[in-house]
Structure 1
Amino acid sequence: MAGEARNAEVPEDVETDDCLTSYSYIYSPDLLKDKVAFVTGGGSGIGFRTAEILMRHGCDAVIGSRNLEKLIQASKKLTAATGRHCLPLALDVRQPETVIAAIEEALKEFGKIDILVNNAAGNFLCPATSLSFNAFRTVMEIDTMGTFNTSKVVYEKWFKDHGGCIVNISATLGYRGQALQVHAGSAKAANDAMTRHLAVEWGPSGVRVNSLAPGPISGTEGYRRLGGLSAQTSGMFETIPLQRAGSKTEMAHGVLFLASQASSYVTGACLVADGGSWLTSANSLPALLGITSSKSAKL
């Protein structure tokens, strides 16, 4: 009975990068009426579901990544499911000129940007001794430089004079020093610091800057790459206080809260949404090393 009660509270989700077949509102459907959100990495995973949930609450959206074909397909799904406008734009967050072009195109299309979700990221499991210099640099460029690049451009092009909201998708990896994650943990720790610095500097312009730190989230590339399926089948999730992986919809709801007036006096904060995972999950080196025994970082 207790398990059934827990599951009854979990919102709807689907494993694939498709829109929800049904949706129960926990906030007003008009919470973000006529707002415009810009979501990097919006073609799949948490970014895709975040765009969907924001759009279901009245928001139009821009989704950006390097794969335009994938974005076009995603935008069609999002528009069909929500009835809102979704603009797919190719960009590489590591290259400021592509970010500038995308932001200018978004402003031309919608006339404004109210919400920026920095979701683009790269990750994999790898021991520090096997991690190439290029692999470490690439993750830092995508996660940290990419977050700064996009935030700076949106601030200069719009937020500086009109205010706005930034939500950075972070992680708890650096809180304790997760094994095999020195690259991603370092990048996300830098992003958490960036969140606080920008919240202080840009607050007077009416800009709120917060971050969301997910735990293991099913139906994502990270879940597949970082051993989520192995952890699930081996019972490792029993060490998590909520005893399960999170869902993309739950992460999107966290972003929705931080991006809306429900958090109007919240800035410089990190909302940890991991079911209590980082508090209890051990660095199981034998299990982690087994996952990576046949893998290497070749970025």
Structure 2
Amino acid sequence: MSINDWIAPDAMKGKVVFITGGGSGINLGIGKTFARVGADVAICGRSLERLEGAARELEALGARVSASVADVRDYDALAAALETSRRELGSVDVLVCGAAGNFVARAEAMNAKGFRTVVEIDLLGSFNASHAAFGQLKETRGSILFISAGQSVMPFVGQSHGGAAKAGIDNLMASLALEWGRFGIRSNALVPGAIAGTEGMKRLDEAAGEDTWTSMIPLGRYGGTDEVGAMAVMLSLPLSSYVTGTRVVVDGGMALSGSGLYNRAVSLPALERLTKMPPR
């Protein structure tokens, strides 16, 4: 089912959405959903090849696109990407802080560099994007969407680094909702669950099989990037004009059963190789 069955294709016409890490995965899916309802989309990331491919996909949906190579850990590069976006598309109405890095590693087997890398990409990168976009968001009275995760509030084996980073993002989201509300800027977090086709789920499927993971989900299936995108659009429309400081979970009910099944699954020998994967 298309988002246009529920939301008019021009619902966000004239609006500009800037997405960090927008070249692939959930973030690109969010960008495509915004494009389907009329928004223009700016994306940044570290891979020019990915950005060029993503830009073509977004343009095919009718969006004007601005694509810039920028690492979210580099504030100046990110600020330059936002300025390029402003020049090419106009001031940002919606900022999606989606850039992330992760890998599976038990705390005793992880070094400080690996821990720091994830925190810097996820948490520092989200702060950098929000801070660099503040002037534009103040001008448009726009909104920020942070991409969080279930481990921000619940411990998962092999995710001490990811959990710490995402917990920080949740607190940053709430802090900005509190501080920047006076400028008309709303701040919320999306919490995706198991989403089909993403790099992380492909690796987990190879290691333990889809049935292992869907058995943890009350709805009995993976979600789609379009379903995450649909909620991103909803939180950006005037329909949600009084919603700020909120975590919106899009996980098919997965968090309701806790992390016990996942924790047992990642103890399987088949998953041991995942602990050797470096941060992206």
Unaligned runs of 5+ in 1: 1-10, 13-22
1:160 matched residue in structure 2:
138
2:83 matched residue in structure 1:
104
1:198 matched residue in structure 2:
176
State whether structure 2 residue 190 is matched by structure 1 residue 212: yes
- CA offsets, 1:157-195, max 9 Å, x none? 312333111000100113221111111111111100111
State whether structure 2 residue 78 is matched by structure 1 residue 123: no
Q: 1:146 aligns with which of 105, 121, 125?
A: 125
- List 4+ stretches of structure 1 deviating above 3 A: 228-236
Q: How far, CA to CA, are the matches of 2:136 and 2:254 in structure 1?
A: 37
Letter of the structure 2 residue corresponding to residue 214 of structure 1? P
Alpha-carbon distance, 1:221 to partner = 1.2
* Range moving further from structure 2, 281-290 or 57-66: 281-290
Alpha-carbon distance, 1:289 to partner = 2.3
CA contact (8 A) 1:231 1:237 kept: no
Identity fraction in percent: 37
Letter of the structure 2 residue corresponding to residue 274 of structure 1? D
Q: How far, CA to CA, are the matches of 1:109 and 1:298 in structure 2?
A: 35
Change in CA separation of 1:234 and 1:160 when aligned onto 2, cut-off 3 Å: closer
1:250 matched residue in structure 2:
227
Q: How far, CA to CA, are the matches of 1:286 and 1:244 in structure 2?
A: 20
Change in CA separation of 1:238 and 1:122 when aligned onto 2, cut-off 3 Å: same
Q: 2:11 aligns with which of 31, 42, 57?
A: 31
Paired residues, what number?
276
Letter of the structure 2 residue corresponding to residue 152 of structure 1? H
Alpha-carbon distance, 1:126 to partner = 1.1
Letter of the structure 2 residue corresponding to residue 180 of structure 1? G
SS in 2 for 1:176: coil
Q: 1:269 aligns with which of 246, 250, 254?
A: 246
Alpha-carbon distance, 1:231 to partner = 5.0
Change in CA separation of 1:276 and 1:206 when aligned onto 2, cut-off 3 Å: same
1:184 matched residue in structure 2:
162
- CA offsets, 1:270-292, max 9 Å, x none? 10111110111442444202244
Letter of the structure 2 residue corresponding to residue 267 of structure 1? T
1:83 matched residue in structure 2:
62
- CA offsets, 1:122-164, max 9 Å, x none? 1111111111110100000000000000000000x31233311
State whether structure 2 residue 260 is matched by structure 1 residue 283: yes
Q: How far, CA to CA, are the matches of 2:191 and 2:109 in structure 1?
A: 26
Letter of the structure 2 residue corresponding to residue 94 of structure 1? R
CA contact (8 A) 1:241 1:275 kept: yes
Q: How far, CA to CA, are the matches of 1:169 and 1:186 in structure 2?
A: 14
Letter of the structure 2 residue corresponding to residue 95 of structure 1? D
- CA offsets, 1:69-95, max 9 Å, x none? 210121012111x12211111110001
Alpha-carbon distance, 1:31 to partner = 1.3
| TM-score normalised by L of structure 2 | 0.93
CA contact (8 A) 1:32 1:58 kept: yes
1:20 matched residue in structure 2:
none
Letter of the structure 1 residue corresponding to residue 198 of structure 2? T
State whether structure 2 residue 24 is matched by structure 1 residue 44: yes
